[in-house]
Amino acid sequence: MLNTRRRFLQGAVSAGLYAGMYAGLGATGLRMPALAQSTGLGPAPMMPGLHTVDTNGIRMAVYEQGAGPAVVFCHGFPELALSWRNQIGPVAAAGFHAIAPDQRGFGLTGGSADVADYGMDVFCADLIGLLDAKGIDKAVFVGHDWGGAVVWTIPRVYPDRCLGIIGLNTAASRPGNLPPVQGSEPSLIVRTADYYFNTFQEPGRAEAVLEADVRKSFEFFLSRGGMWNKDVFAALPEDSPQRRMDFLGMLQQDIQPGDTFLSAEVMDYYVSAYEATGFTGGLNWYRSAMRTAVALANARNTIDVPCLYIGAEHDVILPPASADGMEDFIADLEKVTVQDSGHWTQQEQPDDVNRIILDWLARKIA
């Protein structure tokens, strides 16, 4: 059933039915996104009002709340806008216009199965088109995981559209005109051909494993503790699938990395969403990674807006040390590390993340 529904969705997108379902609507429609109509997947729980926005050739599903300076929240893989459910309300209550989309290829936004339709230049243009559709001149962009990679790129490509940048876990990539950072803490990951970034590249390979049991895949990914604790991770054998981050192998061997921590309601929605759409759209972010160079070909080498980096003590994928040297090309940068958190920081430690974000917004933006 999953593969059948995913093939239908991909076919509908490529055939133009995705846009056709909304013929005659304006840039912002109040009807449900096309994927909701075709799959029965409804809005995410614990989120504000949902609507759609035409941007950069896609119809993007967007949740928003509040008024004031815009703050755009960008999720990572395999998350959705739902990952920001604990941040939108407090940020809106503090006097900001909080906006959280399901990004290209994900959730109710969906997207093509063609890797050519993805890339960092495309993801940035999606968000700028979102601002244009809403008549917003500038925004603070907040991103986690892949969303972090996008938001750190925007001020280098679209500097006139940024009020500020907040990156969770993901550090800004170092401009090519700068020498490598010296003396930074080395990664604990032992990279081999089985490293997840590598095994995600071949079309269909990761889908076959992740879609065989979507709930199992989400209980695997969205967990904490265990190998997601850097001290536990460091003590594991270097030839173990955990140290090699062989996610597909671990799933096939029933190796659970940590403990689930999300509520049943949140987990059920993630599972329902990916049972409806499959994983191809999200995996295409990995498969298009080489296009980051295209996005940065004519980019600035400095970031000239206020910036905040929020790291997580136990993130073994994107450790706080990965942000070393960002001061070399960002003049106004603050760094904070959230304690007792693995990779899913805004979902693991929402109160700490909210406190840090709201304090920074109050001082730098409001």
Q: Which CATH class is domain 2-185+288-364?
A: alpha beta
Distances (CA, A) of 138 to 123, 298, 337, 340, 346: 17, 21, 27, 34, 24
Least confident window among 12-26, 184-198, 259-273, 323-337: 12-26
State residue 37's pLDDT score: 59
Q: How confident is the model at residue 18 (pLDDT cuts 50, 70, 90)?
A: very low
Predicted pLDDT of residue 286: 98
Which residue has tokens 């995913």?
6
Higher pLDDT, 223 or 18: 223
Token pair listed for 237:
């054998």
pLDDT digits (tens, 9 = 90+) for 271-303: 999 999 999 999 999 999 988 777 788 899 999
Strands 259-260 and 223-224: antiparallel
What SS3 state is found at 72?
Answer: strand
Residue 120 has pLDDT above 70, yes or no: yes
Distance of CA 224 to the CA centre of its chain: 18
Would you place residue 28 in the very low, low, confident or very high pLDDT band (cuts 50, 70, 90)? very low
pTM for the full model? 0.91
What are the tens digits of pLDDT across the range 205-240? 999 999 999 999 999 999 999 999 999 999 999 999
Specify the pLDDT at position 175.
Answer: 93
Q: How confident is the model at residue 56 (pLDDT cuts 50, 70, 90)?
A: very high
Q: Please tell me the predicted confidence (pLDDT) of residue 225.
A: 97
| 17 against 175, higher pLDDT | 175
Q: Is the distance from CB of 143 to CB of 166 less than 8 angstroms?
A: yes
Among this protein's residues, is 75 annotated catalytic?
A: no
102, 126, 145, 315: the catalytic one is 145
pLDDT at position 301 is 95
Catalytic status, residue 213:
no
CA 55 vs CA 19, 111, 221, 242: distances in Å: 11, 12, 30, 39
Instruction: Determine contact, residues 314/258, Cβ cutoff 8 Å.
Output: no
Q: What is the arithmetic mean of pLDDT over 197-212?
A: 98
Tokens of 247: 């996610």
Active-site pick, 75, 97, 314, 343: 343
